Structure 1
Amino acid sequence: MKKTLFLNPPSFDGFDGGAGARYQAKREITSFWYPTWLAQPAALVPGSKLVDAPAHYQTVEDVLKIAKDYELVIMHTSTPSLPNDVKCAEAIKTQNPETQIGFVGAHVAVLPEQTLKDNPIIDFVCRNEFDYTCKELSEGKPFAEIKGLSYHDRQGNIQQTPERELIHDWDAMPSVFPVYAEHLDIRNYLIGYLLNPYISLYTGRGCPAKCTFCLWPQTIGGHQYRAKSPEAVGREMAEAKAIWGSSVREYFFDDDTFTIDKKRAIAISEHLKRLKLTWSCNARGNLDYDTLKELKNNGLRLLLVGFESGNQQILDGVKKGIKLEVARKFMENCHKLGIKVHGAFILGLPNESRETIEETIRFACEVNPHTIQVSIASPYPGTELYSQAEANGWFTGDSLVANSGIQMSALQYPNLSGSEIEDGVEQMYRRFYFRPKSIIPIVGEMLADPQMLVRRLREGKEFLSYLRERHQRAASH
């Protein structure tokens, strides 16, 4: 067994681009997701170490001190962070040329040959679901015998092995909780709309939806939802409670669409109620009232819902599969039941215009989720959105993120520039939050909970800093 390090490498200050984030960027306020995509293979490799450098504010120098003792380093990368991640790999290789270094993540899964050709320092990249690929690498199995691997052979030529099958027996996958407990400081993981400290986890992978912009189903997870049984999830959550007790305030189920199988979601929620755990999850904005009520009765606090746009033509164009009227009824039911909703929106999708941005802002204010996040459409390689942008000449020529790590618009349209899309993000935040309907509930939270008071004041300061940074960037252009 090779001594194996799973590494989410250092990047931009505050950049949440690694093994858990859906949008690889520095957010408006400090946010870090758990590096679940690395923790899962780490759970399969006894004696391995997991380092999540961004969330623990570790530098390349810190990483080098750790990596010197390891034979195999498996690094997570993303499209915007790849250049920095390669520099980190070069530093590790310079320190010890015998260290084998490989990359995992959506970018290298889609572009394995290009990644290896452009970066000879990388020994291999893993394609598709890489959990068992990593396990076999740590066991010292020859590269040529490992499915789902692209690598440099001894002559420097690029070789590719056959594809690896997707994982279907998810009950056989070990829990990530012992890995979290041993290697991560849960106090460092913050998400603005969750109760902190929180824990996030996947109970399965894959999403039947066909959204053109969504990264993971199109690159690694696939469109079939493969998941653990409610009984297996119940056992894992009991394990979590045994590890952390009451110190974790909320558990977040980060499956792409946790509620797609309503019977399973309800069965899991019954275990959570028995364990007296507060929890939240991803959901689509079409869940029916009776299911919502049952989940709420079993401890559900919040739903993260991707509304994306307030324009039906845009939603149809990205194959969202949701009607605005259904989303309105869903929000009405959530308000009635007291379920908080964090609404996710995307500006800059195909068919976007100044008028549709206005429609989205009005829609968000109308349905009134508790909190929102507004992202810029990001055409990641491997997604249908990327192919559309390439075919139609929509690329601006800019990167997905600025030098500081904040999102930039990589897309522009004949009647809408990239800078107008970026301006729309700020406009939407201001108009949504600077309303009595938004301010009053948030102030109420702050007055009721001293921890929330400190946190919201910090987040407000960070948000103003984020806006200043955007204005400075706009002025320099």
Structure 2
Amino acid sequence: MLATLFLQPPSFDGFDGGAGSRYQAHREVRSFWFPTWLGQPAALVPGSRLVDAPPAGLTLADVLPLARDYELVVMHTSTPSFASDIRVAQALKEENPRLLVGLVGARVAVDRAGSLSRAPAVDFVCGNEFDYTILEVAEGRPLAGIAGLSWRDPSGAVVNNPERPPLEDLDALPWVTPVYARDLRIEDYFNGYLRHPYLSLYTGRGCRSKCTFCLWPQTVGGHRYRSRSVRSVAEEIAWAKQALPQVKEFFFDDDTLTDDLPRTEGIAREMSRIGVTWSCNAKANVPRRTLEVMRDNGVHVLLVGYESGNQGILNNVKKGVRLDIARRFTEDCNDLGITIHGTFIIGLPGETRETIEETIRFACELDPHTIQVSLAAPYPGTELYRQAVEHGWLDAAHADLVDEHGVQLAPLHYPHLDHEDMHAAVERFYREFYFRPSKIAEIVGEMVRSPQMLRRRLREGVEFFQYLRARREHARGVGATT
């Protein structure tokens, strides 16, 4: 077994490389998600170590000496961080020329040959679900015989091995939470709507929805939802509760846990039996009867992707949700006391100044507890990316999706809606949502009731205004060069 290091590389200050789906960037309010996609193969490889540099505040100088202690390093990469990550790979290789370096993640899965051509220090990249692919590399097997791998032969030519079939028996995978407990400082991970410290993990792979913008189902996980048994999930959470007693909330990061309603209700009842607070992603169409079961069994927050308040845009991106259903779902959650963190996207196909205003009004009408507003991000491998290239919507200068500081760009533009319009809309969206008297009163009340929340919201407020200032400075820079 090769001595193996799993590394989320140093990147932009505050860069959340573990974030799901389409939000890998420096956030408007600093947050960090757990590196589950690295933690899972780390659980498979005996004696391995997981290092997540951004949340730990580690620089390249901090991680570089590790290259001498390992024979194999596996790094997670993404479109926004790829250029930085291959520089890290080069530095590690210079530190230890015998080090075998591999990259995993959606960025390399959809463009294996192109990724290897841009990264001369990288020896191999992986395709879709790479857990057992990495295990076989760590076992020292010849690269030529490992499914799901693209690698360089001795002449430097790229070889693409056959694909690896999707995982079916997810219960056979070892738990990821012992890796967290062993290698990570749990308190380094936080976000604006979950109790701190929290812990996140997946209970399944894939998503039945066909959203054109969503990254993982179109590149790594697939559209068929394969899940762990309720018993397996419950046993891991019970273990984690004992091993990590400081954790105040568990988040199930499946793309949409609520695709399987009976299973969701079963998990909810198990979480109540164990005695933990939990949250999950949810589509805005969960029936009230299931919401009642979730509420009665400890659910705290639902992370809901509303995306737009315009039905035409939702249809364009194949969201599969009607606005009237989303309204009813939200009313049910509010009535039952279930908190919602709503996410919205500016700049999806069909967006206009008028539809942006519709979405802002829709968000204010729904009134989730907190929101996140992002710019449409056409990640390579998604249908949105193919559409953007075909119709000339994608600005090549913004193809990495973030600027030099890791702040999300507006890579799409339309004849009637340019980058500056969309940047300005994000700031206006946040201001119109959060600066309403009712929302201010809600947040102030939250802060008065909890000294911890007071400190947290004040910190987030400072970060939020710093983020807006950075956006304005970028917009001015763009304007000065066009």
1:278–1:301 contact (8 Å) kept in structure 2: yes
Amino acid at match of 1:429: Y
Distance in 2 (alpha carbons) for counterparts of 1:32 and 1:185: 12
Partner of 2:471: 470
Amino acid at match of 1:442: I
Partner of 2:188: 188
Distance in 1 (alpha carbons) for counterparts of 2:464 and 2:224: 37
Partner of 2:267: 268
Cα distance change on mapping 1:372 and 1:271 into 2, 3 Å? same
2:18–2:36 contact (8 Å) kept in structure 1: no
Distance in 1 (alpha carbons) for counterparts of 2:447 and 2:154: 60
Secondary structure at the aligned position of 1:117 is classed as helix
Amino acid at match of 1:390: V
1:7–1:74 contact (8 Å) kept in structure 2: yes
- Are 1:428 and 2:419 matched, yes or no? no
Partner of 2:367: 368
Structure 1 residue runs of 5 or longer lacking an equivalent are none
Distance in 2 (alpha carbons) for counterparts of 1:157 and 1:398: 29
Distance in 2 (alpha carbons) for counterparts of 1:19 and 1:60: 21
Distance in 2 (alpha carbons) for counterparts of 1:403 and 1:318: 29
Cα distance change on mapping 1:450 and 1:21 into 2, 3 Å? farther
1:124–1:151 contact (8 Å) kept in structure 2: yes
Distance in 1 (alpha carbons) for counterparts of 2:460 and 2:300: 21
Distance in 1 (alpha carbons) for counterparts of 2:471 and 2:431: 14
Partner of 2:314: 315
Report which stretch shifted further, 392-401 or 50-59.
392-401
- Are 1:292 and 2:291 matched, yes or no? yes
Give the percent of matched residue pairs that are identical in Structure 1 and Structure 2: 58
Partner of 1:169: 169
Q: How does 1:2-401 map to 2 (within 5 A)?
A: 2-18=2-18, 22-245=22-245, 247-399=246-398, 400-401=401-402
Distance in 1 (alpha carbons) for counterparts of 2:472 and 2:19: 30
Question: How big is the shift at 1:419?
Answer: 1.3
1:6–1:50 contact (8 Å) kept in structure 2: yes
Amino acid at match of 1:158: V
Could you list the per-position Cα deviations for residues 397-450 of structure 1 after superposition, in whole angstroms to 9, with x for gaps in the alignment? 332101110101000001000111111110000000001221222111111111
Could you list the per-position Cα deviations for residues 131-187 of structure 1 after superposition, in whole angstroms to 9, with x for gaps in the alignment? 000100100010011000000011111101100000010111111111000100011
Question: How big is the shift at 1:21?
Answer: 6.4
Partner of 2:456: 455
Cα distance change on mapping 1:466 and 1:328 into 2, 3 Å? same
Amino acid at match of 1:412: H
Question: How big is the shift at 1:19?
Answer: 6.8
Distance in 1 (alpha carbons) for counterparts of 2:18 and 2:464: 22
1:398–1:408 contact (8 Å) kept in structure 2: no
Question: How big is the shift at 1:285?
Answer: 0.2
Partner of 2:441: 440
1:8–1:19 contact (8 Å) kept in structure 2: no
Question: How big is the shift at 1:288?
Answer: 0.7
Secondary structure at the aligned position of 1:366 is classed as helix
2:65–2:95 contact (8 Å) kept in structure 1: no
Secondary structure at the aligned position of 2:345 is classed as strand
2:10–2:59 contact (8 Å) kept in structure 1: yes
Cα distance change on mapping 1:51 and 1:83 into 2, 3 Å? same
Could you list the per-position Cα deviations for residues 357-392 of structure 1 after superposition, in whole angstroms to 9, with x for gaps in the alignment? 000000000010000000100000000000000000
1:39–1:179 contact (8 Å) kept in structure 2: yes
1:3–1:70 contact (8 Å) kept in structure 2: yes
Could you list the per-position Cα deviations for residues 84-136 of structure 1 after superposition, in whole angstroms to 9, with x for gaps in the alignment? 00000000000111000010000100000001122221100000100000100
Secondary structure at the aligned position of 1:98 is classed as coil
1:19–1:38 contact (8 Å) kept in structure 2: no
Amino acid at match of 2:463: E
Question: How big is the shift at 1:31?
Answer: 0.5
Distance in 1 (alpha carbons) for counterparts of 2:418 and 2:50: 41
TM-score, normalized by length of structure 2?
0.98
1:278–1:299 contact (8 Å) kept in structure 2: yes
Distance in 1 (alpha carbons) for counterparts of 2:294 and 2:384: 34
Cα distance change on mapping 1:20 and 1:362 into 2, 3 Å? closer
TM-score, normalized by length of structure 1?
0.99
1:20–1:34 contact (8 Å) kept in structure 2: no
Amino acid at match of 1:205: R
Distance in 2 (alpha carbons) for counterparts of 1:55 and 1:444: 30
Distance in 2 (alpha carbons) for counterparts of 1:316 and 1:327: 14
Structure 2 residue runs of 5 or longer lacking an equivalent are none
Amino acid at match of 1:332: E
Q: In the comparison of the two structures, how many residue pairs are matched?
A: 476
